[in-house]
Structure 1
Amino acid sequence: MTDRLITHLRHVDLAVPDYDRQRDFYTALWGLTPVAEDDGIVFLAAEGSPEQYVVRLRKDAEKRLDLIAYGAATPADVDTLAGRLATAGVRLVNEPGTLQTAGGGYGFRFFDVDGRTIEVSADVATRQHRAIEERESIPVRLSHVVLNSPDIPRTQAFYEQHLGFALSDTLVHPYAGELMKFLRCNAQHHSLAIAKGPHVSLHHVSFELRGVDEYLRGTGRLLRAGTRLIWGPGRHLAGDNTFSYFLDPHGNTVEYTTELALVDEDTWQPSDHDVSQISVQDQWGTANPFDDQLVKESFNDVDRGLFVAPPV
């Protein structure tokens, strides 16, 4: 899509009942840095990223995905996208305007076809960041987010038609059919993936580390701290990235990864990858089998925030 207006993934915002426990996990263990905090809300940055923050935690009585935020190049692009969505009948949460969150900027929010709140913004102030050093096992940046949907084709069509995402690859099973669609909004193999699930929910959020050594050191640090590793370490075929999947204190799956493939968007042709072939799930052969129990855990809890905009 030549007129794609989305440029990249900015941040993922979560609401959590046990705010203090979640905050401690994402800072002391996961390796994110608090950059702004108010009563019951904290903005967490990745040291290697110019984004003001990559995760926002908000205290709430119910666990939910508050929103997913994407970047646009200019305020004019924000206005253009908002106009297109409104014309197409997409429900806007608010019209474009000045953002009141960390870093400011100009943006708007809307509901996707499944009821998730999506934000698109431009002119957000960049953060002073730094190069992550050798053996420093903290996230460089936010890599991608994966969503559960009971209707993959419908969700995929929304993001392709309205936001300009393109299909990179598909995971399939001989009996279960299509299980996951990998979608991109830039040269990164995927910034978004849509997984087959029984209900709308968050599948996982992934964070990029500096390299394989740092990724393994981070995996080990979490293991030594007693954090439950549900799958990994291994290396996927689709995207060619490493993976270690953990559960945060509220049961959200979070991933350490590195070396996610970059594609030539002018020449890339999507492929179907059969997950019944073990090397598709894990090229290295080091990860535990992805069994029925892991599948159920990846479904997560039903998202209670659908078609309900977060208060902040």
Structure 2
Amino acid sequence: MTDRLITHLRHVDLAVPDFDKQREFYTTLWGLTPVAEENGLVFLAAEGSPEQYVVRLRKDAEKRLDLISYGAGSREDVDALAQRLGTAGVQLVSEPDVLQTAGGGYGFRFFDVDGRTIEVSADVATRQHRRIEEREAIPVRLSHVVINSPDPNRTQAFYEQHLDFALSDSLIHPYAGELMKFMRCNPQHHSMAIAKGPHVSLHHVSFEMRGLDEYMRGTGRLLRAGTRMVWGPGRHMAGDNTFSYFLDPHGNTIEYTTELEELDEDAWHPSVYDVSKPENQDQWGTANPFEELVAKESFNDVDRGLFVAPPV
């Protein structure tokens, strides 16, 4: 196991045209808590997470992924990573400095190989959080983010070389080839995954629930509200986690999950799962069949924010 400078996933920031509708969905239906709001920005926390916020929404004329944020252990680690990336020719969006967003901290931003804006930060103030109670069907924390890439091998190599992510498992199909690579930055099976898609975009954002009962209650709440469920409820083979995928008001795929596998990194060896075998997609056999139309739902729109830093 390597000594990584990145420790965990912090938050995912989205820009949307219909800000009010998106805010209403994520707060009243999905179960996040607004903790700060100003000038077309809202910061949304998960009640069980010490992170200041797990989703940031920003009002913009165009839908885009603003950035993905990861934590580092210290200011020294932030500086070391920025120096490493700069020396390797990775384009920095900003140099390490005090952050002006909720919770403050010290960090910097850069473009990954596909043009996404990535933020790494340390010393962000811990938010007062609480234990999620039995039957309370709201997210405990942000679980993972999955991104689409036309060249998953290139994207994988970038995150392995520059950020010390490690491959946990892969999904393949006999005719389509490699479909997804599950990448970790800590013992959690994946904090990020890279899906093969026709263009660079956000595939889905996943939120951890307290347990199976809360996961199912949350899934039911969304279904009763008429929210479009893309796929689920079921249980994956890779990661051994549950899944219910929905579409938010702007067509981003978001997931309720629970019980994502924790690995012994020193002993772990990646597996390759053939998804033409139904049990490798859904161990339970309860989800709707995974076919081409389901897969296309998570291709999402072409991201208009590539190699363009968000304004805040």
Give 4+ residue runs of structure 1 displaced > 6 Å after superposition. Answer: none
Q: Shift of the alpha carbon at 1:164?
A: 0.4
Confirm whether residue 141 of structure 1 aligns to residue 109 of structure 2: no
Helix, strand or coil for the counterpart of 2:240? coil
Residue 164 of structure 1 is matched in structure 2 by 164
SS of match in other structure, 1:267: coil
CA separation in 2, counterparts of 1:57 and 1:214? 25
Please report the TM-score for the alignment, with normalisation by the length of structure 1.
Answer: 1.00
Structure 1 residue matching 2:249: 3-state secondary structure: coil
- How does 1:9-28 map onto structure 2 within 5 Å? 9-28=9-28
| Aligned alpha-carbon RMSD (Å) | 0.5
Are positions 1:43 and 2:43 aligned together? yes
Correspondence for 2:185:
185
Distance 2:123 2:296 in 1: 40
In the aligned structure 2, how far is the partner of 1:231 from the partner of 1:3? 36
Secondary structure at the counterpart of residue 298 of structure 2: helix
Letter paired with 1:279: E
SS at match of 2:255: strand
Secondary structure at the aligned position of 2:260 is classed as coil
Structure 1 residue 39 displacement after superposition = 1.4
Residue matched to 2:122: 122
**Paired residue for 2:238?**
238
Residue 108 of structure 2 corresponds to: 108
Q: Equivalent residue for 2:52?
A: 52
SS of alignment partner, residue 294 of structure 1: helix
* CA deviation string 1:225-281 (max 9, x = no partner): 110111000000000000000000000000000000000000000000000000000
Distance in 1, Cα, partners of 2:292 & 2:175: 15
Amino acid at match of 1:173: H
Count residues with an aligned counterpart: 312
Letter in 2 for 1:307: F
TM-score, normalised with respect to structure 2: 1.00
- Counterpart in the other structure of 2:253: 253
The aligned counterpart of 1:29 is: 29
**Match of residue 71 from structure 1:** 71
Residue 279 of structure 2: aligned partner: 279
Partner Cα distance (2:179, 2:292) in 1:
14
For 1:209, the equivalent position in structure 2 comes to 209
Q: How far did residue 293 of structure 1 move?
A: 1.1
Matched ranges for 1:63-102 at <5 A: 63-102=63-102
* 1:3 aligned partner: 3
SS in 2 for 1:202: strand
